Structure formats: C-alpha cells, structure tokens
Amino acid sequence: MQESSRAGDEKQSRLSNPLLDLTIAGLEAQLKAWQAYQVEGTRFVAKRMRANLEHLRALGHCCNPQSIGECQRAWLGDLQKDYAEEWARIAATTFAIGFADLAGLGWLFGQRMGHGSPQPQPDPGPQLGPQPKSQPSLQAAA
C-alpha cells in the first residue's frame, strides 16, 4: 500500500485494496455469526439449567421408586424436545446468517455481471384494438 502526505497538506492518498475489503467483510460476517450462535447457545444453556433445577426439586419430593421413574422419564422427554428445538433454532440461525451474508456480498458479483450482460425486456405482446366483450356482459347489455 502506498501512502503519501505533503508537509502542508493533511490529505492522504490511499490505494484501494479489494482483497482487504473482502477479508474485512468476511470477518465482520464471521463475528456476526459467532454473536448469533453465542446468544442462541446462552439462551439454551439457561433454559436447560432452569429445567434441571426444576427436575432436582421434583426428585427431592418423590417418595417412592415409581414416582422417581416417572419424574426421570418426564425429564428425559423434555430434554429430547428441548434439544430437537435447539437444533432447529441453530439450523434457522445458520440459514438466516447465510442468506444475509450472500445478500450482502451481492455488490461483489453485481459489479462483474451487471455491466456487460443485457437486461431482458418484457414482451408487450401484439397490440390489438379493444377486446370484445364476454358473453355475460353482452347479455347484460341487451
């Protein structure tokens, strides 16, 4: 990179560096993704910790092996449901981040493809005079 400054001039001239700009955009997208996953993961851990504490409280009030077994089965069912929901949320977050990042990089591909490619023009179709009235509207007019 080339930087030049004059003694009396505060302006600096800089070279453009598209590779650096693309790298910074990629790192910003990666940071956004990490933040989204961290928020989602923190919510899940907090939810599971609350559920585990409730489970321990319920176990503490069980008085026989049969009620302990029912409590454990209910806890396992909730655990499976929570993990399935979390995987769905992670997949949704991944798709949302991926599509947002692809849309954000559209400027990169648009520069290369937009200038030289011809744009399709809509076909106006044949211009015929006024359209004939349909049968029900002709009967209503008579």
pLDDT per position in the chain (142 positions), as tens?
445 545 545 567 777 888 888 888 888 888 888 898 999 999 999 999 999 999 999 999 999 999 999 999 999 999 999 999 999 999 998 888 877 666 655 555 555 444 444 454 555 555 555 555 555 555 555 4
- Predicted confidence at residue 97, as pLDDT, reads 81
Domain ranges of the chain: 18-112
Give 52-66 pLDDT, tens digit per residue.
Answer: 999 999 999 999 999
- Predicted confidence at residue 82, as pLDDT, reads 95
- Predicted confidence at residue 113, as pLDDT, reads 46
Between the two ends of the chain, the Cα-to-Cα distance in Å is 83
Torsion over CA: 91, 93, 96, 100 (sign) = negative
Render the burial of 20-35: b for 16+ CB within 10 Å, e for the rest. Answer: eeeeeeeeebeeebee
